[in-house]
Amino acid sequence: MDFLNAIIVLFNYTLIPALAYGSQLALGAIFVTLIYAVLRFANFATGDMMSFGTMFAVILTYYFQSLGIGLGFLPTALLTIPFAILMMILYMLIIDKFVFSYYRVKKSPPVQFAMVSVGVMFVTQAIIRIIIGPSDRRFLDGEKFIIKATEFKEMTGLAEGITLKSTQAITIIVTLIIVSIMFWFLNRTKTGTSMRAYSDNEDLALLSGIDPKRVVLITWVIAGILATIGGVLYGLDKSYRPFVYFNNMLPIFAAAIVGGIGNPYGAFFGGYVIAFAEILLTYSYKKFIAYLLPSSLEPNSLMQLLSTDYKFVVSFSILVIVLLIRPSGIFKGKTI
Amino acid sequence: MRNYENVIYAYIIMLLLIICVGLFQSWSIALTILNYCLISAVMTIGANIQWGYAGLINFGIMGYTALGGLAVVLVSVDPVKKAWQVGGLNILGSIWIIVAIVFITRFILKRFEKSLIRNYFIAFLIIAGVILIRVTATPGIEAIESVDPAVSGFLGGMGLPVLISWIIGAFLAGALAFIVGKIALGLRADYLAIATLLIAEIIVSIIKHEEWLARGVKNVIGLKRPAPYEVELQKTQWFRDFIEKIYSNKLELVNTIAQKKIILNQLIIDASSIFVKICFTGLFLSVVIILLIVTQKALYSPWGRKMRAIRDNEEAASAMGKNVVKEHLLIFILGSAIVGLAGAMMVTNDGLFTPGSYRPMRYTFVIWVMVIVGGTGNNFGAILGGFVVWFLWVEAAPISLFLIDLFTAHLPETNAIRLHLVESAPYFRFLLIGIGLLLIMRYRPQGIIPEKIIKQ
């Protein structure tokens, strides 16, 4: 029984949060990697673009709530996602037209692209703060929990319970759906293949009659979908605050590089690697060990490898280690 | 000579702008801006050495700035003896453990063939080391942090004069750059940017959360100064006489002695803060000038030519027998050391160390905008970029408030849009900087003052 309790403790405090957080990172990382693979630059506006899409979801959620439109036990934000995605894609296309396309035509080096994306980051951040302000916002409504700890305890008779927040379940499910559709699209459809061809070898792709404008357009559309959904899921799970979204760019980058930048499968996997590492290394194992060991040996310290303050440090250290040992990432990404 | 004319005009315009601030806002604000401009200029010189001379993209400026700031605390604050007594041994012990782990890892890496077992062993060693460090350090850290937690709760520094910390700050930043360079310099440009950014985040979060080191987010206040304190200055006789002499015309118009005294006191209080700021300006200006002379000399020396050759064509330079890796590492260390110096200068200027304020937006990206806007590869340009961008960064809020008032003048005072815009005036600085960067990148990619190659 104690063994079962120990497993449940671990399940509740590490596995579920890590899966949810990993899904959010994975969506962001695929966004980064896609831009990197097709448009060939590291997009420093990643976090703020996600924030931009989420901003519309937040505003529309408030609007829908005032109109009394909702999804019952599901959060209203899910209803607003399509509209937010549209706005996001529109914004991305405008930015691409006025900023990035010039450098793409000129075939500027990736460093220049990165600097330009820093400019876009500044502008996006300003627009977000002017429209919605820098404060913390919660926009989750509907049912908060799917399984409550007390219910679980009553059901199973165990001493420990499992809490499953509805946002965590939604995050994991939506991510799986979106990612499977995306991989299906990239691998099975003609457009997806042409995108991969363009990413592999631009000149050859152009020679075989692939329209670069179309490829770029579709990349931004997919990027907009990923960015908005990733941002909204994160915002539902925690809360929406522009500064936090900007900071989230860093673990997202770490996830993309750890997985092998330019490789969507790698990015997907990298998101979970980063999330699990962050949570497993900063989790206090006291309760877990207390169940496994006889009560005389019960540890009196927290049994924590690193304090939770160092959550980000863990992911960045993993990145450094990966860069040292296997610079192309776990799944082979683009060459460095 | 025509080339120099632009430079001179640009600097005169900049100076006039600052004087305008002095006339329309206050001289105190103008001097504060000027001081920060000078500090930014030192940072941009550092970044420009890396980016302009060698083409290395370092987004970790924030980390080196923070490390320079930390140096001020570690050098100039008086040691907290009680904290050393209760926890010094534990801290020293864990530092030795870290050193031991590093050397054992190096030994294993050198001695044994690459294999899976070796990797697992190193991973095991590091995890065991982390546990060991926590076991040794935790009681010490707890003891240190409970020594007067309201005012100290940290180990303190060495109690040396603050100017020494500028040099130590540069050394610390250089040492960090050596490690980072060893890890990351082989990477492609945009990878390097991301890696350095993330490593800087690691540094800042260590400084933030290790309270025994420099109080972390609790901040260290009341740091030493290389300039006199306002309160003491107000009491010194020569300063009082000096102010009386300057304002003698004005004071003569006042009739009663009592009133004269009140006015004089007010003048002295104002003047003392300005005097302190001028002292800082003098110090910073001399640092900027020394750095400028050294970097200009270096740029046009054979070494500078070599760096440019490496930047412009790495393969060709390598084929000519230049050691690209070594030169890159060297320039990475030099540039970072200058940034560390700037970090120490900034903390000295503020008189307080606030690790929570080190954010990538302010300390990495804005500095990069300065370098790009000013002119890459040209020190005069980089310094000007520091001035222009910092000026805009500070003055963007008043300027945008003015513009908002202008454009919404026809709307009533209580109009929701107007109120919302006025409330969000501080964020227009991001818009201004962002659009400025995009415009410069598009229409004048070489910056305001472009790089000038002298053919010899």
Q: Is B162 a member of any domain?
A: yes
pLDDT score for B329:
93
What is the identity of the amino acid at A80?
Answer: T
CB A111 to CB B438 under 8 A?
Answer: no
Identify the residue with better confidence: A323 or A297.
A323
For residue B119, the tally of other CB atoms under 10 A from its CB is 12
Pair B85, B115 in one domain: yes
Q: Which of B58, B430, B442 to mutate to test the interface with A (most CBs of A within 10 A)?
A: B430
Segment of A306-320, B215-229, B313-327 carrying the highest mean pLDDT: B313-327
Lowest pLDDT segment from A84-93, B31-40, B182-191: B182-191
Q: What residues have CB less than 8 Å from B182, skipping those under 6 apart?
A: B329
pLDDT score for B454:
59
CB B431 to CB A312 under 8 A?
Answer: no
Q: How far is CA A255 from the centre of its chain?
A: 9
Segment of B236-245, B312-321, B363-372 carrying the highest mean pLDDT: B363-372
The token duo for A122 is 């500044």
CB B195 to CB A41 under 8 A?
Answer: no
In 3D space, the residue among B43, B60, B45, B37 whose CA is nearest the CA of residue B393 turns out to be: B37
Chain A residue numbers touching B137 (CB-CB < 8 A)? none
Chain A residue numbers touching B396 (CB-CB < 8 A)? none
Give the residue-averaged pLDDT of B384-391. 91
Distance from CA of B37 to the nearest CA of A (A): 20
Lowest pLDDT segment from B62-71, B138-147, B358-367: B138-147
Q: Is B448 a member of any domain?
A: no
Pair B135, B180 in one domain: no
CB B431 to CB A127 under 8 A?
Answer: yes
pLDDT tops 90 at residue B152: no
The answer to whether the predicted template modeling score (pTM) of the entire model surpasses 0.95 is no
Q: Rounded to the nearest 5 degrees, what angle is found at the Cα of B342, between the Cα atoms of B190 and B18?
A: 105
pLDDT tops 70 at residue A336: no
Pair B129, B119 in one domain: yes
Give the residue-averaged pLDDT of B154-183. 89
Q: What residues have CB less than 8 Å from A306, skipping those under 6 apart?
A: A281, A282, A313, A314, B130
Pair B248, B210 in one domain: yes
Chain A residue numbers touching B125 (CB-CB < 8 A)? none
Any idea which residue has 């990145």 for tokens?
A319
Pair B174, B148 in one domain: no
pLDDT score for B87:
80
pLDDT tops 70 at residue A214: yes
Hey, where are the domains in chain A? 2-325
Give the residue-averaged pLDDT of B258-269. 82
Which of A123, A134, A305 lies closest to B435 in CB terms? A123
Identify the residue with better confidence: B413 or A19.
A19
Which of B197, B423, B438 lies closest to A99 in CB terms? B438
ipTM of the complex: 0.88
pLDDT tops 90 at residue B177: yes
Q: How much of chain B exceeds pLDDT 90, in percent?
A: 28
CB B205 to CB A254 under 8 A?
Answer: no
Q: Is B450 a member of any domain?
A: no
Pair B150, B174 in one domain: no
Domain end marker among B103, B123, B155: B155
The token duo for A272 is 């979970």
Query: DSSP readout, A212-250?
Result: HHHHHHHHHHHHHHHHHHHHHHHHHHS-B-HHHHHHHHH
Q: How far is CA A85 from the centre of its chain?
A: 15
Pair B303, B381 in one domain: yes
Distance from CA of B40 to the nearest CA of A (A): 19
Give the residue-averaged pLDDT of A104-115. 88
Q: What is the mean pLDDT of chain B?
A: 86
In 3D space, the residue among B181, B211, B186 whose CA is nearest the CA of residue B83 turns out to be: B211
CA–CA separation, B57 and B193 (whole Å): 6
For residue A249, the tally of other CB atoms under 10 A from its CB is 24
Pair B58, B104 in one domain: no
Pair B191, B169 in one domain: yes
The token duo for B212 is 């025994």
Torsion on CA atoms B421, B424, B425, B426, rounded to nearest 10: 180
Chain B residue numbers touching A110 (CB-CB < 8 A)? 188-190
pLDDT tops 80 at residue B395: yes
Which band of pLDDT confidence, cut at 50, 70 and 90, is reported for residue A221? Answer: very high
pLDDT score for A32:
93
Q: What residues have CB less than 8 Å from B440, skipping those under 6 apart?
A: B372, B373, B447, B448
A323 near B CB under 8 A = yes
Burial class (CB in 10 A: 0-12, 13-18, 19+), B399: middle
> What ranges in A158-211 are assigned the alpha helix state H?
166-188, 190-200, 202-207
Lowest pLDDT segment from A53-57, A94-98, B62-66, B111-115: B111-115
Which of B194, B201, B438 lies closest to A116 in CB terms? B438
Q: How much of chain A exceeds pLDDT 90, in percent?
A: 43
Domain end marker among B109, B134, B155: B155
Cα–Cα distance list, A179 to A31, A51, A229, A302 (Å): 11, 20, 11, 37
Q: Which structural domain, as residue segments, surrounds residue B338? A: 2-79+156-443
Which of B197, B361, B431 lies closest to A123 in CB terms? B431
Cα–Cα distance list, B138 to A319, B88, B101, B130, B213 (Å): 27, 12, 18, 12, 13
Q: Is B64 a member of any domain?
A: yes
Q: What residues have CB less than 8 Å from A334, skipping those under 6 apart?
A: A36, A37, A260, A261, A262, A263, A328
Q: What residues have CB less than 8 Å from B253, skipping those under 6 apart?
A: none
CB B427 to CB A254 under 8 A?
Answer: no
CB B427 to CB A316 under 8 A?
Answer: no
Which of B131, B194, B361 lies closest to A42 in CB terms? B194
pLDDT tops 90 at residue B210: no
Any idea which residue has 């901040």 for tokens?
B219
For residue A148, the tally of other CB atoms under 10 A from its CB is 15
Q: What residues have CB less than 8 Å from B260, skipping those under 6 apart?
A: B251, B254
How many domains is chain B partitioned into structurally?
A: 2
Q: Is B302 a member of any domain?
A: yes
Give the residue-averaged pLDDT of B319-330. 89
A324 near B CB under 8 A = yes
Lowest pLDDT segment from A99-108, B69-78, B329-338, B442-451: B442-451
Q: Which of A121, A312, A323, A326 to mutate to test the interface with B (most CBs of B within 10 A)?
A: A323
pLDDT score for A120:
95
Domain end marker among B101, B128, B155: B155
The fold for domain A2-325 equals ABC transporter involved in vitamin B12 uptake, BtuC (1.10.3470)
Residues of chain A numbered 85-124 and touching chain B (CB < 8 Å):
99, 102, 109-116, 118-124
* Contact between A306 and A313 (Cβ < 8 Å): yes
Q: Is B453 a member of any domain?
A: no
Tell me the backbone φ, ψ of residue A53, rounded to 5 degrees.
Answer: -60, -45
Pair B239, B369 in one domain: yes
Q: pLDDT per residue over B180-190, tens digit each?
A: 998 888 777 77
CATH code (residue B256): 1.10.3470
Pair B314, B390 in one domain: yes
Give the residue-averaged pLDDT of B413-419. 79
CA–CA separation, A234 and A332 (whole Å): 28
Query: DSSP readout, B4-73?
Result: HHHHHHHHHHHHHHHHHHHHHT-HHHHHHHHHHHHHHHHHHHHHHIIIIIT------HHHHHHHHHHHHH
pLDDT score for B415:
78
pLDDT score for B1:
44
First to last CA, chain B: 17
pLDDT tops 60 at residue B430: yes
For A67-91, give one letter per residue: b (16+ CB within 10 A) or e: eeebeeeebbbbbbbebbbebbbeb
Distance from CA of B242 to the nearest CA of A (A): 47
Which band of pLDDT confidence, cut at 50, 70 and 90, is reported for residue A62? Answer: very high
Which band of pLDDT confidence, cut at 50, 70 and 90, is reported for residue B455? Answer: low
β-bridge partners, A240: A137
